[in-house]
Amino acid sequence: MAKHQEPGRSAQRPGQITRRQVLAGAFATVGGLTATACRRSSLIAGPEAPADPTKVQGLPPGDAAGRRSPFVRLTREAGWTFWSYTPLDSIDGIITPSDLHYEVHHAGAPVIDPNRWTLTIHGMVERPIVLNLDDLRRFPSFSRIVFLECSGNGPFAWRGAASPEDTAQKLVGLTSCSLWTGVAVSTLLREAGVKPGAKWALAEGSDAAVMTRSIPIDKLMSDAMVAYGQNGEPLRIAQGFPARLLLPGWEGNTNVKWLRRLELSDAPFMHKEETGSYTDPMPDGKVRQFTFVIEARSIITSPSGGHTLQGPGFCEIRGLAWSGRGRIKRVEVSTDGGGAWLPATLDEPVLPMAHTRFRFPWKWDGKEAVIESRAIDETGYVQPTRAQLVKARGTGSKYHFNGIQPWRVSRDGKVTNAGA
Amino acid sequence: MARSRTPVHKPVRKLALLAGAVLLAAFPAQAGDQGSLGIGRAATTQELARYAAFSVRPDGRGLPEGRGAAVEGKGVYTKTCAKCHGPTGKEGGKTGNRPTPPLVDTRPFKVGLTNATVGNYWPYSTTIWDYIHRAMPFDHPGTLSNDQIYAVTAYLLYANRLIGERDVVDAYSLPKLRMPNRDAFVPDPRPDVP
């Protein structure tokens, strides 16, 4: 048993192991097992490879060697025609590869010629200005790791329409995290000169929906960015090439892609995406509007739905946590269906408004188990259960579901959605 | 302005001086303005005029000239909208494999019991004109004339029993219509759970 329990920690539970035991190699000889496969592999059968790669010259430097190995398959899974999910259970760390960043479009992803693209800043400003991409890149720039999550990430769980077969990708795959590079919106607004009385700005995209959201000026002046870079390269088409709005911690759709203008105003424009869509009807007849912030959420990505544990033994539980209100302070994991909650290890870096990787050492004893995680952010907010959310908000909203996601590990090792 | 005390600030000061010089060239009328780096160019009146009809607001600002009534809009609806939203707008439908919402429900909005449509859910009538103008019809966005948009807006309001069949909808009358679900909308009260 653990000799150095943390203060307030309950006694060790069956199947619970301590870091000390892991460090001591306590499981090196468990049942004589080799490594227990307890995560989904992205490896596939590939083409013919040399029997001994040390005996033949390899690929020359260039495109072929820069690609993903043909033995690796990582893909987004399409939802309906206008969104696709990040394979959360197949990627490591906190950065989502750019081509795997989730996407939601309202009228497809437009292909835009950067030489003809401009950003106009006008309305309640001293000097209406037009910037081209070169102009944008001349402004002082900075980079920041920020998650984006669609407010509709998990509508199946809201409506109780989830299935036991659901995967982490399908249930929660509309969240991704990138290193974004761009210009502070406050810099751009200073360039144009904000007139007194300006309280909101209309952000408008140049897709076929000419998608808009009204954004409070306070957010634009505090930490908003017009981003042109993602993970070291120009934005991908699906992420708004050549430039998008980036509002750390706010629901994905407000981060308007293919941004063509910002129009400052004294009031919100009340366009479709902030009235007919992306609003939250409540059981009492009220409709919540401008529900911008993404509240704290976490999910165990391995093992998770669709995985199969090969046998009892050590299985590191891994997952992601994030909050639109700041840093993740703690993630707790339960392996007994919510009875006992123990703290997981948070991997550095732990950044505000960014995916945070957590890990938790677990020894599966071969019996049925329900594993789940809950995030606590720096404001003290604790990720709720689905039952708590439904009690407060009913099931009429499609948005802002952030309930705890339980996974059931059956005796045969199959992992299914216990929230269904 | 405080003098910089460390060398670290020098480049910033230089930048500010440089910015001032560039500013004189770029915006002679506002020479001497602090805070501008002189990047980009002034927007022309013609450029801004292109965006005017994309800036529609609940008080009617941004609505262009033009007019229409439901009697004219019915034809526009049948020709350009019905294939996705259904013959009368009550049905909804599909665009490819993507569900297309119904546009007509004359019952007061009740979550889970009625559809949420432009008539019983949307809080502002101007939003209907704006959304058709910016994004519809889905297969040929931006192809309807302002008159056609006013007319089909009138048809949808009529079908939702909010105006008469011959009532004229234009920049003057549209913002005056108070939508039935307007008072339901409230600010974000979160955190509300647990």
Q: Which domains does chain A have, with CATH numbers?
A: 98-288 (3.90.420.10), 297-417 (2.60.40.650)
**pLDDT value for B14:** 47
Give residue A97's Cα distance to chain centre: 12
Q: What is the pLDDT of residues A279-303, one digit of tens each?
A: 999 999 999 999 999 999 999 999 9
Higher per-residue pLDDT: A117 or A14: A117
Please list every residue in chain A whose beta carbon sits closer than 8 Å to the beta carbon of residue B184. Answer: 285-287
Contact state of A209 with B185 under an 8 Å Cβ cutoff: no
Task: Look at residue B4 and tell me whether its pLDDT is greater than 90.
Answer: no
**pLDDT value for B9:** 41
**pLDDT value for A48:** 87
What average pLDDT does the structure give for chain A? 90
Confidence of residue A162 (pLDDT cuts 50, 70, 90): confident
Contact state of B185 with A275 under an 8 Å Cβ cutoff: yes
What average pLDDT does the structure give for chain B? 87
Chain B residue with minimum CA distance to A206: B134
Closest by Cβ to B42, choosing from A127, A261, A288: A127
**pLDDT value for A156:** 74
DSSP B4: P
Please list every residue in chain A whose beta carbon sits closer than 8 Å to the beta carbon of residue B138. Answer: 107
B148 within a domain of the structure (yes/no): yes
Residue B11: exposure state from Cβ atoms within 10 A (0-12, 13-18, ≥19): exposed
| Distance, CA of A333 to CA of A349 (rounded, Å) | 20
Strands B185-187 and A287-289: parallel
**pLDDT value for B153:** 98
Task: Look at residue A391 and tell me whether its pLDDT is greater than 70.
Answer: yes
Contact in structure between B45 and B121 (CB atoms under 8 Å): no
Residue of A136, A191, A385, A402 to mutate when probing chain B, most B C-beta within 10 A: A191
Mean pLDDT of A184-201: 98
Count the domains in chain B.
Answer: 1
Contact state of A393 with B109 under an 8 Å Cβ cutoff: no
DSSP B183: G
Percent of chain A exceeding pLDDT 70 equals 90
State the sign of the Cα–Cα–Cα–Cα dihedral A132, A137, A142, A148.
Answer: positive
Contact state of A286 with B192 under an 8 Å Cβ cutoff: no
Please list every residue in chain A whose beta carbon sits closer than 8 Å to the beta carbon of residue B97. Answer: 80-81
Q: What is the pLDDT of residues B18-56, one digit of tens each?
A: 444 444 444 444 434 567 899 999 999 999 999 999 999
SS3 B65: coil
Name the region of B137 (left: φ>0; alpha: ψ -120 to 50; beta: rest).
beta
Rounded to the nearest angstrom, the minimum Cα separation between B26 and chain A is 11
Mean pLDDT of B63-70: 98
What Rg do the C-alpha atoms of chain B give, in angstroms?
24
Rounded to the nearest angstrom, the minimum Cα separation between B46 and chain A is 12
Q: What is the pLDDT of residues A204-258, one digit of tens each?
A: 999 999 999 999 999 999 999 999 999 999 999 999 999 999 999 999 999 999 9
- Report whether the peptide linkage leading into residue A242 is cis, meaning its omega lies within 30 degrees of zero: yes
Q: What are phi and psi of A119, to 5 degrees?
A: -115, 120
Task: Look at residue A269 and tell me whether its pLDDT is greater than 90.
Answer: yes
**pLDDT value for A41:** 77
Contact in structure between B154 and B165 (CB atoms under 8 Å): no
Mean pLDDT of A47-70: 93
pTM of the entire predicted model: 0.89
**pLDDT value for A81:** 66
Structure tokens at A200: 């909101």
Please list every residue in chain B whose beta carbon sits closer than 8 Å to the beta carbon of residue A289. Answer: 185-188
Task: Look at residue A171 and tell me whether its pLDDT is greater than 50.
Answer: yes
Confidence of residue A77 (pLDDT cuts 50, 70, 90): confident
Contact state of B97 with A282 under an 8 Å Cβ cutoff: no
Contact state of B37 with A396 under an 8 Å Cβ cutoff: no
Provide the CATH number for the domain around residue B179. 1.10.760.10
State the sign of the Cα–Cα–Cα–Cα dihedral B22, B45, A197, B191.
Answer: negative
Chain A residue with minimum CA distance to B33: A193
**pLDDT value for B33:** 52
Q: What is the pLDDT of residues B120-179, one digit of tens each?
A: 999 999 999 999 999 999 999 999 999 999 999 999 999 999 999 999 999 999 999 999
Please list every residue in chain B whose beta carbon sits closer than 8 Å to the beta carbon of residue A281. Answer: 109, 111, 116, 121
Closest by Cβ to A293, choosing from B141, B142, B190: B190
Rounded to the nearest angstrom, the minimum Cα separation between B157 and chain A is 15
Which residues form the domain of B66?
55-184
Closest by Cβ to B39, choosing from A138, A269, A381: A138
Contact in structure between B149 and B73 (CB atoms under 8 Å): no
- Distance (Å) of CA A304 to CA A194, A353, A382, A404, B100: 49, 24, 22, 13, 33
Contact state of B188 with A208 under an 8 Å Cβ cutoff: no
Q: What is the pLDDT of residues A292-343, one digit of tens each?
A: 999 999 999 999 999 999 999 999 999 999 999 999 999 999 999 999 999 9
